[in-house]
């Protein structure tokens, strides 16, 4: 039975396992590959508005955050980031979390959601956000230094609710 709820501080050991797995590979997020557990806690749990976990029984399979993309006159647009544990991919958890995050965003009063750095090499993600109604509103040449592909373009994807 899958459940999505707000993350608590004691969830972080399990979140860290997922975060480290994804960030150390350096193929999707722009966080430094050597980001420490303490820095990851700041990034994922503190510098966000809310953080959620997706659980099956007691196991955390995936996590997402929501925060303002810009302050002030840009604060009606939120930004989210999603991470799914390698062993839980292919089960639709990213879709589940993205739908949940859109509900959360609207409850928090946001009018739109923006992803700032979707790598064109991450075809599955591009397809997924596209299926969920996000439009590609920009493409930044060579925005990301990929460990295997060298410089990769990144898309900006956006959905007005």
Interacting residue ranges for a copy of itself, rule: CB under 8 A? 26, 29-33, 35, 70-77, 111-112, 114, 116-117, 137-147, 154, 156, 158, 160
Q: Which residues contact 71 (CB under 8 A, 6 or more apart)?
A: none
Name the minimum Å distance from CB 68 to a copy of itself. Answer: 9
Name the minimum Å distance from CB 136 to a copy of itself. Answer: 9
Q: Is 109 exposed, middle or buried (0-12, 13-18, 19+ CB in 10 A)?
A: exposed
Which C-beta is closer to a copy of itself: that of 56 or that of 130? 130
Q: How many helices (H) and strands (E) does the chain have?
A: 4, 7
Which C-beta is closer to a copy of itself: that of 31 or that of 41? 31
Q: Are 93 and 52 in contact (CB under 8 A)?
A: no
How far apart, in whole angstroms, are the C-alpha atoms of residue 71 and residue 67? 10
Name the minimum Å distance from CB 157 to a copy of itself. Answer: 10
Residue 33 CA to chain centroid, in angstroms?
16
Name the minimum Å distance from CB 126 to a copy of itself. Answer: 15
Which C-beta is closer to a copy of itself: that of 112 or that of 132? 112
């Amino acid at each position: 039975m899958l459940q999505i709820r707000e993350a608590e501080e004691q969830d972080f050991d399990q979140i860290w396992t997922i975060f480290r797995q994804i960030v150390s590979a350096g193929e999707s997020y722009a966080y430094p590959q050597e980001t420490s557990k303490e820095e990851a806690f700041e990034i994922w749990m503190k510098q966000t508005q809310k953080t959620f976990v997706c659980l099956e029984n007691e196991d955390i399979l995936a996590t997402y955050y929501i925060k303002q993309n810009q302050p002030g006159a840009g604060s009606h647009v939120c930004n989210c980031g999603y991470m799914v544990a390698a062993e839980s991919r292919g089960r639709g958890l990213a879709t589940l979390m993205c739908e949940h995050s859109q509900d959360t965003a609207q409850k928090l009063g946001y009018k739109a959601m923006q992803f700032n750095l979707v790598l064109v090499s991450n075809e599955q993600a591009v397809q997924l956000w596209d299926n969920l109604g996000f439009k590609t509103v920009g493409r930044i040449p060579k925005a990301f230094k990929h460990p295997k592909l060298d410089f990769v373009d990144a898309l900006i994807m956006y959905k007005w609710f």
